[in-house]
Structure 1
Amino acid sequence: MEEIKKIQQSFGVIGRERELERALAVVKAGRHLLIEGPVGVGKTVIALAISHYLQKQVYRVDGDERYTEQKLTGWFDPPVVMRLGYVREAFIPGPLTLAMQNGGALFINELNRMPESVQNVLLPAMDEFRIEIPKIGKITAAKGFVIIATQNPREFIATSPISEALRDRFELVTLGYQPEAEEVEIVKLHTGVDEDFARLVVRIVRATREHPDIRRGASIRAAISVCLLALQLGGDAEAVRKACHLALPTRVELKEEARNQLDEVIDGIVDSVLKRTAGFERPAVSAEVKKKDLMGAPNLVIVDALKLPAEDGDFGWLLAQKYPSIKGRLEEREREAIRKIAIEAILRRALSSLGPTKRSAKLRRESYRPGADEIDLEATWERIVGKPDYQAEDIIVETRERKKLACSLMVDTSLSMAGEKLAVAAVGASMLAIELREDNYSVVTFNSQARVVKEMGQRKDLRSVVADLLGTDAFGYTNMEEGLRAGLRQLERAPSGERLGIMITDGKCSEGFHPERVAAGYPKLCVIMVESPHSDAGTCSLLAELGRGKVYRVKEYSQIPGAIQKLLKEFA
């Protein structure tokens, strides 16, 4: 523990003894370290403290979806290449190459915001401690080289899961929010306020993490800001309130279904903490009482319909599966409470089901810009030949641009799709929406008629899409023709790029008997067919063939997320 105390004293780390001990052991053993946790819990502080304590030169990279392989490994200086060709003198090493050559630490902040192709560059460096750079050759790591990376949990915006191969090469240390006493000490260290003032602000910030209207609460970083702002505004209780209205709105995320505006939520939290600080401490509430409050008054319909086991297991997912069939028998308050839990459970399942998908990219030639890919020597030579001098825009480079994709998902909601099958379909829709968050997608449900749940180009929150799917009543016949027609109309509204239709059905067409006529109009159509005694494999195969796509057969509805993941890998 002596080393841990030295790190804490030297780098101002409060608490975190367990995490520091584990992180230090990983790096001293020559293994690569991944630190995972929500925003503001000190991932970067731990990473840099360990690196500097071990006297390693740190080469920092901040994860970004536009980051390229060349920025990580290095690139060639265009003017030198034009004079000397692709020689070592023309190569500008990137942070990975520098860290390997100097036996330093490559620190990657927010690894899971990087494209998968860039993440894959790390694999040989981690395994074999060497990389191959085209036109340069092998770079071998010097002794002491290590990779330390941080990442936010998967549910954070603009993140995606790292590949299994990459995750297998890291040792994992997870960080959560620290105890109240440690957060108070951190605030005192960074602001100079006294104990009572720091504790008041910390309790306000911690309350945002438990408030029912807030999806994601604030970190200790917010508490530091509130203190510093409050000191400038007078330092009294009213100053704290004003500071909270300045610091918290950018650091908390309100739920779409919240009944109050953010300003009202902040005022409520501040009032509540001020009351308790003045001696109006509320009694602790047990988990069982909280669960009863959430469910509303005792209701035999709920208890009987859910048939929950003695051990709830994944309570939210059980509710999600039961919700479509019991929602009509619930009172409004109960229905709203269960719907919220079901939506979050569906999104969690979608995030856990959605592994990394490698999106294809097209090659584009353009004028030089820093960090671009390789120079197109032939095209550049054609531009500069005969010129006494040339500018940067005369140099042509090759860049890779991710393929744009528009997708229309059509979900069968006929009578055969009743009950838990709708919840599974909602997981599939969520996976699609998460993967295509920067692209265009639409969601259509169909039974005897078609209904557009989310239009192409419409800015609609994912939770609202899931709520609409869960609220859909499964009834009527299976009019695949109408579903395909509505999906195609949505695709035609998409901007330029690849267009893909995905239909989830058992394939038994009982109304609208000519879906093949519409399928032929799709640029690409894939069918996820759920096998059953009533399914029609011939119709599904014909539709996919006419739509220049593919059929994905699943034996049960729980396999739909896996089929969507496979489909996205092949076509996205």
Structure 2
Amino acid sequence: MSAEAILQKARAVMGSVMHPLETAGSTWTELPPEACQPEIDIEETLDIAPFGPRDGSEIWMSYTKKRPQPLVLSVDTSLSMTGDKMALTAVSLAVVFLQFPDDPIGIVAFENEARVIKRPSERLGTLELIERFLDVPAQGYTHLEEGLTTTLALCSKSFKTGRSKPVPVILLTDGKYTAGRDPSYLAKRFKKLIVMKMGDERAGEELCHELASGGRGTMKLVAGYEELPLAMYGVVKSLLRAVCN
């Protein structure tokens, strides 16, 4: 499946999602283009210019803007992920990116070793992200421990430790590791770990549940990769619903 076809498939999954908003303020001259529902704050304006504003730099505006939604995805790209599985995983990543085009999203892929596909601070178009992910060779064993360790390091480097809200991490795995140690000891280091358990095999389900429970998150069973894009869209909606409430 080409990158363009993957992008089209992701768009077909999409629906409307309510993004959380936050209140901000600036002068008229510094009002950002993404400002929503801007209004003159008379009280603040009079504090700046008691005798009336002379120009836009003395007019204070209040407005709302979309609150950034940080998110990190950790994805199994081992040998079992070749062909359609890799393409459908790319569709699910595109679903996330289409929902959060300007947000700090990080992606880690792991097999024998883990690699950072995208850092949260990096600006990347959705098509470019898909092409970058498809270039990852699906090979080797499943080193889940290495994948989670690299994901934790990326979160630590990219986000402030004193954040009022935890940065969600979405882990895509079947829960069966073939390299490294049992990674369950890492769960408690996550603030919000959502595990999308791939496949309907019972093997690996216990570990996935342990990771989600220890990581203060939830586990979602996804029976087949054909269901993954829609399941990912559901997880995205749940995350935003929790932020808005």
TM-score range (shorter-chain normalised) is 0.7 to 0.9
In 1, the alpha carbon distance for the partners of 2:118 and 2:50 equals 57
Partner of 1:518: 186
In 2, the alpha carbon distance for the partners of 1:406 and 1:485 equals 18
Residues 541 and 534 of structure 1, relative CA distance in 2, 3 Å threshold:
closer
Higher helix fraction (1 or 2): 1
Within 5 Å, give how 1:450-465 maps onto structure 2. 450-465=114-129
Q: SS of the residue aligned with 2:139?
A: coil
| C-alpha RMSD over aligned residues | 3.1
1:361 and 2:7 equivalent?
Answer: no
Q: SS of the residue aligned with 1:355?
A: coil
Residues 459 and 514 of structure 1, relative CA distance in 2, 3 Å threshold:
same
Q: SS of the residue aligned with 2:189?
A: coil
Partner of 1:557: 225
1:348 and 2:12 equivalent?
Answer: no
Higher relative contact order (CA 8 A, sep 6+): 2
Cα contact 1:412–1:505 (8 A) shared by 2: yes
In 2, the alpha carbon distance for the partners of 1:388 and 1:429 equals 52
In 2, the alpha carbon distance for the partners of 1:388 and 1:428 equals 54
- Higher-Rg structure is 1
1:485 and 2:123 equivalent?
Answer: no
1:546 and 2:214 equivalent?
Answer: yes
The amino acid across from 2:188 in the alignment is A
1:421 and 2:85 equivalent?
Answer: yes
Q: SS of the residue aligned with 1:489?
A: helix
The amino acid across from 1:525 in the alignment is L
Question: Displacement, 1:388?
Answer: 7.6
Within 5 Å, give how 1:227-266 maps onto structure 2. none
Question: Displacement, 1:449?
Answer: 1.4
Question: Displacement, 1:355?
Answer: 1.8
Cα contact 2:102–2:123 (8 A) shared by 1: no
Residues 368 and 536 of structure 1, relative CA distance in 2, 3 Å threshold:
same
1:571 and 2:227 equivalent?
Answer: no
In 2, the alpha carbon distance for the partners of 1:358 and 1:512 equals 40
How many residues are aligned here? Answer: 222
Within 5 Å, give how 1:156-171 maps onto structure 2. none
1:467 and 2:131 equivalent?
Answer: yes
Cα contact 1:444–1:453 (8 A) shared by 2: yes
Partner of 1:17: none
TM-score scaled by structure 1?
0.35
Question: Displacement, 1:557?
Answer: 0.7
Question: Displacement, 1:419?
Answer: 2.5
Structure 2's unaligned 5+ residue stretches are: 241-245
The amino acid across from 1:452 in the alignment is V
Residues 397 and 560 of structure 1, relative CA distance in 2, 3 Å threshold:
same
Residues 532 and 448 of structure 1, relative CA distance in 2, 3 Å threshold:
farther
TM-score scaled by structure 2?
0.76
In 1, the alpha carbon distance for the partners of 2:26 and 2:120 equals 30
Amino-acid identity (%):
28
Structure 1's unaligned 5+ residue stretches are: 1-319, 321-341
